[in-house]
Structure 1
């Protein structure tokens, strides 16, 4: 992955803020890995919300919605930063 691309990705992950914690995605560490496939113009985002499971079903449901919203914002911001790439969350 080119250095310029890594810098832009880091910038995006720093700018996307989780409203419930006021921390960036970068600080939260929910994006564990990114894979760039140059031949297919795809950027794969691998997420990890391990340790966020709750026994309370209502809490788990609300947390799931927050996680989905947060990772969707990451996908949208990466797609905006790299308009020629297809961003896929895995």
Structure 2
């Protein structure tokens, strides 16, 4: 596979015999240059793939927030259960 090296995106490990040929999987970006966006709208559009990119970020954010909330709820439930058990043990020892 191609790796980004310096000012171009076609630097290859030349010490390996199979690495001297261009990778067919990686497509060259327009003229071999890095991606540049001229406006915020162009950045968010992501060349027509923005709905998939930002949708993926949104789903990941929702899942992470849900995990955080559920974890917080489970922690509070566990703490209250431990507190109840301590109170019961204290009452039994009297």
Larger Rg: 2
Q: TM-score, normalised by structure 1?
A: 0.31
* TM-score, structure 2 normalization: 0.30
Q: Which has the higher strand share?
A: 1
The structure that is helix-richer by fraction is: 2
